[in-house]
A and B are shown apart, each in its own frame.
Chain A
Amino acid sequence: AQSVSQHNHHVILSEAASLELGCNYSYGGTVNLFWYVQYPGQHLQLLLKYFSGDPLVKGIKGFEAEFIKSKFSFNLRKPSVQWSDTAEYFCAVNAPTSGTYKYIFGTGTRLKVLA
């Protein structure tokens, strides 16, 4: 069965620090990959997505992610975080060739940015 692992459950950074959040998935075939953000008290919003092509994708608010097929990874990065980036971040995957029509989410990473 497909699964998604986010190894960092809680991350605390100071403003201007660099961010990298890990995401690994288990499916060996074609995948679509997503990062969503959930600000306190709000619903999930899409940060970025990868379907095919350039493995380095850029999203909103200065976030980017790199798809490394050989490592089954899709890590999220931001060069310099701001206090307003305090939120929970979810990695998600679906697998078009798997025969199922589910989306699988990771357990999330809570990011706290100190001003």
Chain B
Amino acid sequence: EAQVTQNPRYLITVTGKKLTVTCSQNMNHEYMSWYRQDPGLGLRQIYYSMNVEVTDKGDVPEGYKVSRKEKRNFPLILESPSPNQTSLYFCASSNIWGYEQYFGPGTRLTVT
């Protein structure tokens, strides 16, 4: 089954404790992206990747890092999480940029 998976689905952590949210797709898609969803703000793009080793900032990259060492994986790294990063995070992928995206199930992160 074609899908985007994220882990963990739920995470509660404390300020400053480094964490990684994994994202994997099995569709051989070139483009991958991370979004955060906040009430009243919709989805905002954090980082995206056009292909392996090619990443770039979205609209809200501060406090986040990404890497794309393999085509299927695109982890999101929070080196020192803060409470304002409490949010619902979605990973997405598309065959190539510009086409429709397929979304993962989401990761609800709470930073206390």
* A interface residues with partner B (beta carbon < 8 Å): 6, 9, 32, 34, 36, 42-46, 49, 90, 92, 94, 96, 101-108
B30 to chain A, nearest CB (A): 11
B92 contacts across to A, CB distance below 8 A: 44
Are A32 and B90 in contact, with the CB atoms below 8 A? no
5 additional contacts, CB 8 Å, given A92-B43, A104-B45?
A: A32-B98, A32-B99, A96-B98, A105-B35, A105-B43
A103 contacts across to B, CB distance below 8 A: 33, 45, 48, 101
Query: Which of A43, A49, A105 touches B42 (beta carbons < 8 Å)?
Result: A105
* B interface residues with partner A (beta carbon < 8 Å): 31, 33, 35, 40-45, 48, 50, 56, 58-59, 90, 92, 97-106
Closest chain A residue to B40 by CB distance?
A107
Are B97 and A94 in contact, with the CB atoms below 8 A? yes
Closest chain B residue to A101 by CB distance?
B97
Are B42 and A90 in contact, with the CB atoms below 8 A? yes
A102 contacts across to B, CB distance below 8 A: 45, 48, 58-59
Cα–Cα distance between A92 and B42 once the two chains are bound (Å): 10
Query: Which of B50, B58, B59, B90 touches A43 (beta carbons < 8 Å)?
Result: B90
Are A43 and B104 in contact, with the CB atoms below 8 A? yes
10 contacts between A and B (CB under 8 A): A32-B98, A43-B104, A44-B43, A44-B103, A46-B100, A46-B102, A90-B43, A92-B43, A96-B98, A105-B43
Q: Which of B56, B97, B105 has its CB near the most chain A CB atoms (within 10 A)?
A: B97
Cα–Cα distance between A44 and B89 once the two chains are bound (Å): 12
Given contacts A90-B42, A107-B42, contact A101 B103 (CB under 8 A): no
A60 to chain B, nearest CB (A): 12
Are A44 and B90 in contact, with the CB atoms below 8 A? yes
B31 contacts across to A, CB distance below 8 A: 101
Are A45 and B98 in contact, with the CB atoms below 8 A? no
Q: Which of A9, A44, A46, A104 has its CB near the most chain B CB atoms (within 10 A)?
A: A44
Cα–Cα distance between A106 and B43 once the two chains are bound (Å): 7
A104 contacts across to B, CB distance below 8 A: 45, 59
